[in-house]
């Protein structure tokens, strides 16, 4: 080699030159350029004017990005997905196809990844779709994309996504909070679910988990709730929406979609029919609301909801302290409400409760809301397996009065109780009664006890 | 009177390169090159003696500085923008991933080459009198190289970076008395966060490169003063005829070797200052093999530079430097491993924090620094230094084995696993 | 060790030529590297809404984008830059004299952007406005057009 050192130097120089050319070639021919050229070709088809056609064919190839500081993202999907806002590309092959029903979620304001998942910063297909190691948010399968609606629209209903509302309702009524914390409230037997959508983004895993927890989490103390496929799907969609991400004010201002459907729900909740009527159906002390949206502007109606005293001093209408979108929803409902709506609302009204009934009802609500039903069951039947506890399962509460006084039960709710162990040699039982005195007020706990005792009486009565 | 020629010659003032004077002036009139002697012995150019490892390490450092400065145009040392900038370099910046790869692979290369260079210097006995202190400077440069690699490791702000530095700084905190304090200074806090990233960035782009540059200048200067690049003097027919004289010896007259005047040639004489001359004698047989630095030495250096650059470029085109997911303080990967050159240390620490993490490494570094002052055997011939060579080889082998164990044989919980299991079941 | 000077210089020169090309290529590549491919700024080309969203008569001012959108019954749409050509302040449109006035140093522009008065050196810029495929108007600040340009919708 020493002998041939000059030739070696020459060869190395050529290698260096070729490597430099190779690096430059590698940097200058990314796949997105090919996609853009193909799209320009598609665009130019059928363009009769030769000059315009040439302009389109020779248009500059640039990376396109949507800067979304409010969502803390940068999405470059439109570099290849050039036809998303172009209706003439309805039948174009991917990645050029038109995206129907985009508005108002246009890429310039929302990007793509907040709904679809994927890696917005990337500019090649595999990395951009997020199906690579070390990227936790791959593209969502089609049937789950709408779960992302819940990332911003956290309250009320989302039109077209009943699974979100269903999932949320199932979570609150099936007692999930008994074991899982959500937004700071709940038990500690299972993991905190506040960011579940960010931690577990594989819908298949989540759905299998709801259908039978033990198939994905071995020896999990979570009981099998025997959910139907639809319920499991709804819960999965709800979980996927729980990403707990920081968003700019523009995005968090639409937590609630101001739909007429939600307005109707509010109308019932706030019991407007107690004073008002629609087309004569309802109470007479307040005004007739039929056609009120045609008589007055939306701003006027909004002001009335915010401050009834301003427009009608001396009015007995209370101030309801509703947020902006809730008021919009009410106004949207009133724009379309008819006497038939008022009739149906009246028929669904609950009868007035006595104070005792109200206390029991409040106790029942707390019992469900704080997750007690998760272990003790919707009918207080118990029966959830608790290996190595005496009795082997969570006790039924239907005969609590046989073994405890009401005060003792209140103490147990306040301080918690670890079930006695069957076999000391084996590991401790996974489920236990947590202490609730830091979460519930004394009043709440008394009401729960009232509720439990109301069911005891009924049982003894037979 | 040709104004153009005058203008040209006002810039390039040397004689034409076809003359001997011109070749000499090319070296000593040039600020960038004048550390070289105008003439070198052919023995100084032997590849199989030095393997040009010192040059290669230096060239890798130059590559690191250039690519590093280029990367600075796109990198912000603040989480989480730092991670986003890494992604931008990979996906959006022209030649971004190539430059980042060049930087990463040169860094690994420099750590390896500086270690190999140290081994070579030991095996050729080139740390012996009067080069003892240059060895010490070299060890310091080695530690600074590790420091540069460590501070740079954090900058991508991914899981690999975050946890490697968490583990690394925790190992350091085991040092008695000063450990916790040094850790707090490095991190600017109690855990790895914004402050740590900024401090590591400043250390990585400013402080440590400045220190390396300054010490490298001293290191090169001393090589020159100590008689030039290492050469295998024991292979000369009469090795005693080529000997080095100690610098600053109190009685310099007595230190001059007794060599017949006719065979004697002083070479590399810099200046005679305050009666302490610096001489190196050249044997007659070597004198015949002296050549001009231009073009022979520079040509070989150029080949070494080219080989280094092309190797780094080739590796950078085909192999991507890793980038894992965004650093997540709440999620520790299992196992959490320090950068590979600290894995030997982590393996030691897993057995005993104080002994393995502090005492043994400190003793190892002190032993390294002491080598030239403890090894008083004047001979550089390998046959005369068998035990020294064996001891050092043992040291190298132990280090390599520890690193291999830490890399391939340790899985989750630092449990011992077979390497194929570990690689297949990562994460 | 064989050091042949002539061979070295011949091959060496050839190598140097290859190297010089490589270095030249590298310098060009570095310049391209330093040129940004994406901008962390609002985009130069953006949609402003459907034609029906814009009224006739006095121009519609869009504050964030710093443009005025003219809509003429006969001739169509035109978009002018609201940034004064003097030192960059945002001009205002006054309906009573149908002119643009800059509050910073008193420049006055006619409705077609021409400088009538004040230190502004050049007329206001007019931007290309086109109709995108989804029916929205698209403004492109990278393309300036003459003041007479109109988009008929």
Per-residue exposure over B231-270, b if at least 16 CB sit within 10 Å of its own CB, e if not = bbbeeeeeeebbbbbebeeeebeeeeeebeeeebeebbee
Domain range list for chain B? 37-232+295-386
Cβ atoms of residues A2 and C3 within 8 Å: no
Categorize the per-residue pLDDT at A279 as very low, low, confident or very high, splitting at 50, 70 and 90: confident
Assess contact for A414 and A323: CB atoms under 8 A: no
Residue contact B317–A123, C-beta within 8 A: no
CB B242 within 8 A of CB B175: no
Mutate to test the interface with B, among C19, C33, C36 (most CBs of B within 10 A): C33
DSSP string, B374-421: H-------GGGGHHHHHHHHHHHHHHHHHHHHHHHSB-GGG-B--HHH
**A416 within domain boundaries:** yes
- Mean pLDDT in residue range A321-340: 88
Question: What is the radius of gyration, based on Cα positions, of chain C?
Answer: 26
- Tokens 């009065």 label which residue? A401
Looking at the domain assignment, is residue A13 inside a domain? no
* Average pLDDT taken over every residue of chain B: 86
pLDDT of residue B25: 92
Is there a contact between C12 and A24 if contact means CB atoms under 8 Å apart? no
* pLDDT of the residue at B246: 39
Residue-wise pLDDT tens digits, A9-54: 899 999 999 999 999 999 999 999 999 999 999 988 878 888 888 9
pLDDT of residue B273: 46
In this predicted structure, what is the pLDDT of residue C1? Answer: 46
> Average pLDDT over chain C, rounded to whole?
91
Q: How far apart are CA B413 and CA A375, in angstroms?
A: 35
Considering chain A, what is the average pLDDT of its residues? 88
Q: Among B43, B93, B99, which would you mutate to test the C interface (most chain C Cβ atoms within 10 Å of its Cβ)?
A: B93
Spatial distance between the Cα atoms of B377 and B125, rounded to a whole number of angstroms: 10
Chains touching chain C, criterion 3+ CB pairs below 8 Å:
A, B
- Residue window 26-65, chain C: list those with CB within 8 Å of chain A: 26, 29, 37-38, 40-43, 46-47
Report d(CA C151, CA C148) in Å as an integer.
10
N residues, chain A: 462
Sign of CA dihedral C48, C54, C58, C64: negative
**Interatomic CA distance for residues B374 and B370, integer angstroms:** 6
- Pair A50, A98 in one domain: yes
User: Does the pLDDT value for residue A327 go beyond 70?
Assistant: yes
For A98, nearest residue in chain C (alpha carbons)? C134
Measured CA angle at A51 (ends A50, A54), to 5 deg:
85
pLDDT(A273) > 80: yes
pLDDT (tens digit, 9 = 90+) per residue, A88-130? 999 999 999 999 988 889 999 999 999 999 999 999 999 999 9
Phi/psi of residue A40, nearest 5 degrees: -60, -35
Distance CA(B81)–CA(B95), nearest Å, equals: 20
- The answer to which of B175-179, B181-185, B367-371, B386-390 has the lowest mean pLDDT is B175-179
Let me know: does B347 contact B410? Beta carbons within 8 Å.
yes
Interface test with C, best of A7, A11, A13, A109 (most C CBs within 10 A): A13
Show which subunits contact A, needing at least 3 CB pairs below 8 angstroms: B, C
Average pLDDT of the segment spanning A322-346: 88
Q: From CA B279, how far away is CA B268, in angstroms rounded?
A: 7
Of A251, A280, A297, the residue at which a domain comes to its end is A251
Nearest to C12 among B96, B291, B295 (CB): B295
Q: How many CB pairs under 8 A join A and B?
A: 65
A195 close to A240: Cβ distance less than 8 angstroms: no
Residue A268 phi, psi (nearest 5): -70, -45
Query: CA distances (Å), A299 to each of A256, A272, A306, B169, in order?
Result: 19, 20, 10, 61
Name every chain C residue with its beta carbon within 8 A of the beta carbon of B305. none
Angle at CA of residue B69, ends B63 and B73, nearest 5°: 140
Please list, in sequence order, all residues whose beta carbon lies within 8 angstroms of the beta carbon of residue B31, skipping any fewer than 6 positions away.
none
The strand order across the sheet containing C99-101 reads C92-94, C99-101, C108-109, C115-117
Does A400 have pLDDT greater than 80?
Answer: yes
Q: Which tokens go with B157?
A: 């702000």
Long-range contacts of A112-115 (CB under 8 A, 24+ apart): A112/A66, A112/A75, A112/A77, A112/A78, A112/A81, A112/A84, A113/A73, A113/A75, A113/A77, A113/A137, A114/A68, A114/A71, A114/A73, A114/A148, A114/A151, A114/A152, A115/A145, A115/A148, A115/A149
SS (H, E, C) A272-330: HHHCCEECCEECCCCCECCCHHHHCCHHHHHHHHHCHHHHCCCCCCCCCCCCHHHHHHH
CA atoms within 13 A on the CB side of B177: 0
Is residue A159 a part of any domain in this protein?
yes
What CA–CA distance (Å, rounded) separates B383 from A423? Answer: 73
**Model confidence band, residue B422 (pLDDT cutoffs 50, 70, 90):** low
pLDDT at A391 over 90: no
Domain final residue pick, A88, A110, A139: A139
- DSSP, collapsed to helix, strand or coil, labels residue B73 as coil
Burial grade of A285 (CB within 10 A; 0-12, 13-18, 19 or more): exposed
| Tokens 């209903």 -> residue | A157
Task: For residues B284 and B301, give the distance between their C-alpha atoms in angstroms, rounded to a whole number.
Answer: 26
C64: enclosing H helix or E strand: none
Chain C, 113 to 142: residues with Cβ < 8 Å from chain B are: none
In this structure, chain C runs to a length of 153
Per-residue pLDDT, A126: 95
The phi and psi torsions of B117 (rounded to 5 degrees) equal -60, -40
- Residue B276's pLDDT band (cuts 50, 70, 90): very low
Task: For A104, name the nearest residue in chain C, comparing CA atoms only.
Answer: C49
Q: Residue A434 is part of a domain; what is its CATH number?
A: 1.10.760.10
Among residues B164, B108, B82, B79, which one has the least CA distance to residue B338?
B164
Q: What was the pLDDT predicted at A159?
A: 84
Query: Distance between CA B405 and CA B399 in Å, rounded?
Result: 10
First to last CA, chain B: 77
- Judge contact between B161 and B169, C-beta under 8 A: no
Q: What's the rounded Cα separation, in Å, for the pair A71 and A148?
A: 13
pLDDT in tens, A341-383: 888 888 877 667 788 888 888 888 888 878 888 888 888 888 7
| Span B228-253, pLDDT tens digits | 888 887 777 666 555 544 344 444 45
Peptide bond into A37 cis (omega under 30): no
Distance CA B131, CA B279 (A): 14
Sheet-wide strand order for C60-62: C45-49, C137-145, C126-131, C76-81, C67-72, C60-62
**pLDDT digits over B373-382, tens only?**
998 888 888 8
What pLDDT sits at residue C4?
Answer: 67
Chain C contacts of B299, Cβ < 8 Å? 8, 12
What tokens does A70 get? 């409010």
Contact C1 B45 (CB under 8 A): yes
Question: Which of these, A131, A134, A113, A130, lies nearest to A71 by C-alpha position?
Answer: A113
Chain B environment of C29 (Cβ under 8 Å): 94-95
* DSSP codes, A173-197: HTTGGGT--BTTBS-SSS---TTHH
Q: Where are the domains of chain C?
A: 1-35, 45-145
Instruction: With CB atoms and an 8 Å threshold, state whether B92 touches A20.
Output: no
Domain encompassing residue A430:
355-460
Q: Is A152 exposed, middle or buried (0-12, 13-18, 19+ CB in 10 A)?
A: buried
Q: What is the pLDDT of residue B413?
A: 84
**Which of helix, strand or coil describes residue C108?**
strand
Report the C-alpha gap between A106 and A250 in whole angstroms.
14
Least confident among A207-211, A314-318, C57-61, C99-103: A314-318
Q: Is A227 helix (H, G, I), strand (E, B) or coil?
A: coil
Copy the structure tokens of residue B207: 């402080």
Q: Does domain B37-232+295-386 have CATH number 1.20.1250.20?
A: no
Residues of A in contact with B161 (CB under 8 A): none
Distance CA(A326)–CA(A256), nearest Å, equals 7
Q: Which CATH class is domain C45-145?
A: mainly beta
**In contact, A113 and A137? CB cutoff 8 Å:** yes
C18 interaction partners in chain A (CB closer than 8 Å): 10, 13-14, 16-17
What average pLDDT does the segment B327-354 reach? 87
B150 CB-near residues (< 8 Å, 6+ apart): B165, B168, B339, B342
Task: Tell me the shortest Cα–Cα distance from A3 to chain C, in angstroms.
Answer: 6
With a cut of 80, say whether residue C135 has pLDDT above it.
yes
Which pLDDT value is given to residue B256? 47
Q: Identify which of A296, A454, A433 has the alpha carbon closest to the alpha carbon of residue A375.
A: A433
Global confidence as pTM: 0.84
How many residues does this entry show for chain B? 427
Domain boundary among A348, A371, A400: A348
Going by the DSSP 8-state scheme, the letter that residue A155 receives in this structure is: B
Number of other CB atoms surrounding residue B213 within 10 Å = 11
Question: Residues A378-392: what's their mean pLDDT?
Answer: 83
Pairing assessment for the beta strands C76-81 and C92-94 based on DSSP bridges: unpaired
Distance from the Cα of C65 to chain A's closest Cα (Å) equals 13
| Lowest-pLDDT range of A226-230, B285-289, B372-376 | B285-289
* Tokens describing residue A93: 């092959």
């Amino acid at each position: 080699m020493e002998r041939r050192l000059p030739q070696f130097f020459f060869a190395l120089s050529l290698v260096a030159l070729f490597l430099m050319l190779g690096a430059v070639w590698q940097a200058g021919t990314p796949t997105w350029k090919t996609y853009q050229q193909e799209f320009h070709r598609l665009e130019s088809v059928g363009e009769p004017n030769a000059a315009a056609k040439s302009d389109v064919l020779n248009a500059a190839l640039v990376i396109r990005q949507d800067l979304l500081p409010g969502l803390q993202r940068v999405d470059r999907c439109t570099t290849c997905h050039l036809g998303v806002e172009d209706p003439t590309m309805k039948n174009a092959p991917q990645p050029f196809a038109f995206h129907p029903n985009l508005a108002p979620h246009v890429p310039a304001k929302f990007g793509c990844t907040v709904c679809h998942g994927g890696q917005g910063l990337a500019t090649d297909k595999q990395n951009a779709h997020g199906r690579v190691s070390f990227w936790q948010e791959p593209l969502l399968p089609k049937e789950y994309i709408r779960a992302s609606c819940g990332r911003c629209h956290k309250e009320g209903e989302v039109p077209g996504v009943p699974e979100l509302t269903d999932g949320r309702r199932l979570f609150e009524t099936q007692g999930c909070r008994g074991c899982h914390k959500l937004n700071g409230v709940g038990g500690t037997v299972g993991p905190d679910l506040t960011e579940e959508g960010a931690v577990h983004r594989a819908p298949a895993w989540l759905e299998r988990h709801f259908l039978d927890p033990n198939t994905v989490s071995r020896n999990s103390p979570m009981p099998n709730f025997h959910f139907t496929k639809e319920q499991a799907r709804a819960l999965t969609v709800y979980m996927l929406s729980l990403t707990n991400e920081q968003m700019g004010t523009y995005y968090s201002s639409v937590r609630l979609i101001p739909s007429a459907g939600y307005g109707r729900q509010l109308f019932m909740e706030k019991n407007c029919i107690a004073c008002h009527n629609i087309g004569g159906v309802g109470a007479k002390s307040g005004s007739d609301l039929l056609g009120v949206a045609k008589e007055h502007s939306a701003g006027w109606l909004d002001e009335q909801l915010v401050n009834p005293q301003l427009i009608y001093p001396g009015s007995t209408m209370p101030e309801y302290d509703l947020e902006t979108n809730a008021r919009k929803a009410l106004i949207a409902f009133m724009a379309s409400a008819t006497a038939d709506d008022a009739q149906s609302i009246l028929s669904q009204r609950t009868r007035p409760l006595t104070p005792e009934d109200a206390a029991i009802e409040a106790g029942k609500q707390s019992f469900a809301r704080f997750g007690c039903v998760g272990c003790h069951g919707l009918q207080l039947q118990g029966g959830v397996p608790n290996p190595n506890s005496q009795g082997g399962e969570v006790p039924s509460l239907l005969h609590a009065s046989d073994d405890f006084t009401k005060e003792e039960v209140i103490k147990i709710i306040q301080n918690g109780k670890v079930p006695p162990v069957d076999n000391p040699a084996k590991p401790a039982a996974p489920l236990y009664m947590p202490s609730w005195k830091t979460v519930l007020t004394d009043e709440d706990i008394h009401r729960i006890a009232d509720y439990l005792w109301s069911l005891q009486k009924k049982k003894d009565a037979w | 009177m040709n104004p153009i020629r005058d203008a040209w010659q006002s810039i390039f003032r040397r004689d034409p390169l076809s003359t001997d004077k011109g070749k000499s002036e090319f070296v000593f009139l040039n600020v960038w090159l004048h550390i070289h002697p105008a003439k070198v012995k052919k023995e100084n150019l032997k590849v199989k003696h030095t393997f040009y490892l010192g040059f290669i390490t230096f060239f890798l450092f130059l590559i690191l500085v250039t690519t590093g400065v280029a990367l600075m145009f796109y990198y912000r040392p603040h989480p989480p923008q730092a991670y986003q900038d890494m992604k931008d370099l990979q996906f959006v910046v022209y030649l971004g991933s190539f430059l980042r790869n060049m930087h990463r692979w040169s860094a690994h290369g420099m750590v390896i080459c500086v270690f190999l260079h140290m081994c070579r210097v030991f095996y050729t006995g080139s740390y012996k009198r009067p080069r003892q202190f240059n060895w010490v400077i070299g060890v310091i440069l080695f530690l600074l190289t590790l420091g540069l690699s460590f501070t740079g490791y954090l900058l991508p702000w991914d899981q690999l970076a975050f946890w490697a530095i968490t583990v690394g700084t925790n190992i350091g905190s085991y040092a008695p008395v000063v450990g916790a304090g040094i850790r707090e200074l490095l991190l600017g806090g109690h855990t790895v966060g914004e402050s740590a990233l900024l401090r590591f960035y400043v250390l990585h782009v400013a402080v440590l490169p400045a220190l390396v540059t300054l010490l490298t200048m001293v290191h090169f200067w001393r090589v020159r003063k100590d008689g030039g690049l290492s050469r295998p003097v024991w292979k000369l027919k009469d090795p005693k005829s080529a000997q080095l004289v100690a610098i600053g010896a109190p009685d310099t007259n007595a230190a001059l070797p007794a060599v017949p005047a006719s065979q004697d040639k002083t070479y590399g004489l810099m200046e005679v200052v305050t009666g302490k001359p610096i001489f190196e004698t050249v044997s007659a047989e070597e004198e015949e093999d002296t050549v001009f630095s231009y073009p022979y030495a520079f040509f070989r250096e150029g080949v070494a530079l080219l080989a280094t650059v092309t190797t780094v470029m080739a590796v950078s085109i085909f192999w991507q430097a890793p980038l894992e997911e965004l650093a997540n303080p709440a999620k520790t990967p299992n196992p959490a491993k320090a950068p590979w050159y600290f894995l030997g240390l982590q393996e030691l620490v897993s057995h005993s924090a104080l002994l393995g993490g502090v005492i043994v490494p400190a003793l190892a570094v002190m032993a390294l620094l002491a080598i030239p002052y403890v090894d008083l055997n004047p001979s550089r011939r390998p046959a005369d230094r068998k035990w020294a060579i064996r001891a050092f080889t043992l040291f190298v082998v132990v280090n390599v084995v520890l690193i291999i164990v830490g890399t391939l044989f340790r899985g989750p919980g630092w449990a011992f696993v077979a390497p194929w299991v570990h690689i297949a079941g990562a994460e | 060790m064989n050091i042949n000077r002539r061979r070295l210089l011949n091959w060496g020169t050839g190598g140097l030529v290859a190297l010089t090309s490589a270095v030249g290529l590298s310098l060009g590549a570095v310049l391209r590297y330093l040129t940004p491919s994406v901008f962390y700024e609002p985009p130069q080309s953006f949609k402003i809404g459907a034609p029906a969203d814009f009224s006739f008569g006095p121009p519609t001012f869009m504050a964030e984008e710093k443009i005025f959108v003219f809509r003429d019954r006969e001739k169509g749409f035109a978009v002018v830059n609201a940034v004064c050509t003097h030192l960059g302040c945002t001009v205002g449109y006054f309906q009573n004299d149908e002119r643009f006035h800059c509050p910073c140093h008193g420049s006055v522009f006619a409705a077609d952007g021409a400088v009538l008065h004040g230190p502004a050196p050049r007329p206001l810029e007019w931007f290309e406005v086109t109709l995108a495929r989804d029916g929205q108007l698209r403004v492109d600040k990278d393309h300036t057009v003459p003041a007479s340009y109109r988009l008929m919708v």
